[in-house]
Amino acid sequence: MWKRHCCLVSIAVLCIFVGLGNALHQAYANVEVEGRPDQLAKLPGELKFVHVIFRHGDRTPVDPYPTDPWNNLKFWTTGWGQLTNLGKQEHYDLGKWLRKRYSSLLSSRYSNEDIFVQSTDVDRTLMSAQSNLAGLYEPQGEDIWNPAIKWQPIPVHTTPEKDDPILAAKAPCPAYDYELASLESSPEFVALADKYRDLFEYLSEKSGRSVKTFLDASYLNNTLFIESLYNMSLPEWTNKVYGHEELTYAANFAFAINTYTRKLARLKTGPLLKDIFQRIDDKATGRLQPDRSMWIYSAHDTTIANVLNTLKVFELHSPPYVACITVELRIDDHNTPLVSVFYKNTTAEPLPLDIPGCGPSCPLKKLTALYQDVLPLDWERECKRSTMMMTYEEANLGAATGILILIIIALLLASYGLMIYYRRRNYKLYTSYSQMA
Ligand SMILES: *[C@@H]1O[C@H](CO)[C@@H](O)[C@H](O)[C@H]1NC(C)=O
Ligand SMILES: *[C@@H]1O[C@H](CO)[C@@H](O)[C@H](O)[C@H]1NC(C)=O
Ligand SMILES: *[C@@H]1O[C@H](CO)[C@@H](O)[C@H](O)[C@H]1NC(C)=O
């Protein structure tokens, strides 16, 4: 009896040990395989849909400054502002990462009913999207069309920048320009720019290019940043400013300006957010046609900063190459659509963002209500400014003169027409009277 008891106890103890050992092993294996605690499993609900917005990869300087010793295409053989081989590799790697994270959403074979890819109409973002897709969709099975090429074509859609209010956000919007100009001439802003005046003057003098705004300073900082990445020695004068807090802050601050007020955010980023929220709602209610699972947007550092700032989660910084925002939709057991936003700006796993007033997993209804102030009802109409609201200088005097001349011509023509009409009428009256007579 005692012996049997003992036996049972030892079997139980053994079981616990084996079980524990297995569990531990499993946990370590997970950490080893994934290299992280499983973020996806932590959030409530099942992952259904994702929007991915990323910045292009490593590129050459867009426009070096006049006194730049590296201002010569012989140092940058791919041309100005172009994606480099490093940039291609970075995006290929991000594509591989997306494949791993979203393997439950995407079939391993490409289908246009799974994914849609949109890029701004700029070489480096188009090429980044293509490099990314090479990682995301390495051809499998019947899609292998040439065994020597581990790549297949995947469509990347684009719109000319000046016609694109959504991703490039460069379609004309006079109300936005007016709002931005008012911000920049506001006492708060003028006082801030004043604090940087000495820096801006120093940069202008040394670079041979006028630096008047935070954006000008940011561009210059960016050229220096790229050259230092490429181990090109920077001129002596840069030692006083480059890498120092003042210039770095000015360069970072430039990213907050485009969406500084809620109105600016609404007109700049509103159309993109509105599209994303609408599509998430369509997906959650079974109305998305085709019923895709992933949307990719290939864009710029400004896009990343604008989206984060419009969502009120931007911590002032310059978004690095391949920085990536994911907007994930999960559906929980009660059929509630839940939205989470992640930011991945290093090669490590992404940070889940705390949506202000809602947390890391936000019901879609609440999310839409929280950001109602930045979702335009009719963007085109909101972008218009009536002449009544303009100051004397703003109203385009050339156009006004043109309109005035047109009105005068119209009045002249009208009075000429009336004159002829009355003459004829008098003539008719006259003739009819004469007939009566
Ligand atoms: C400005 O330079 C700093 C390094 O000094 C860098 O971290 C930052 O990304 C740069 N910003 C831009 C816009 O290039
Ligand atoms: C620049 O130098 C660093 C350190 O020596 C090196 O790791 C890096 O690869 C170099 N970068 C380039 C683009 O040559
Ligand atoms: C990454 O993002 C976090 C959160 O916005 C920010 O605080 C940090 O400065 C960023 N780092 C880089 C290298 O971009």
Q: What is the pTM of this model?
A: 0.82
Mutate to test the pocket of ligand 1, among 225, 241, 252, 345 (most ligand atoms within 8 A of CB): 225
Residue 339 Cα to ligand 2 midpoint, Å, equals 40
**In the structure encoding, which two tokens stand for residue 259, read together?**
């969406």
Q: Give the pLDDT band of residue 426 (cuts 50, 70, 90).
A: low
In the set 56, 58, 216, 300, the catalytic residue is 56
Does residue 93 have an active-site annotation?
Answer: no
What is d(CA 341, CA 354) in angstroms, rounded to the nearest whole number?
8
pLDDT for 144 equals 97
| Domain covering 46-172+260-379, topology | Rossmann fold (3.40.50)
One-letter amino acid of 355: I
Instruction: Report CA-CA distances (Å) from 85 to 119, 221, 278.
Output: 19, 22, 36
The model's pLDDT over 224-238, given as tens digits with 9 standing for 90+, comes to: 999 999 999 999 999
- Nearest ligand, measured from the Cα of 320: 3
Nearest to 129 by CA among 49, 222, 52, 229: 52
Instruction: Give pLDDT, residue 255.
Output: 98
pLDDT tens track for 204-226 = 999 999 999 999 999 999 999 99
CA dist 130 and 436 (Å) reads 88
Strand duo 294-299 + 115-120: pairing: parallel
Residues with CB under 6 A from ligand 2: 230-231
Delimit the domains of the chain by residue range.
Answer: 46-172+260-379, 175-257
pLDDT score of 136: 98
Q: Which amino acid is at 386?
A: S
Annotated catalytic, 163? no
**What would the pLDDT profile of 21-76 be if each residue is shown by its tens digit?**
444 443 333 333 333 444 555 899 999 999 999 999 999 999 999 999 999 999 99
DSSP structure class, residue 230: T
**What sections of 230-269 are H helices per DSSP?**
245-257, 262-268
CA nearest ligand 1 atom 3, residue:
248
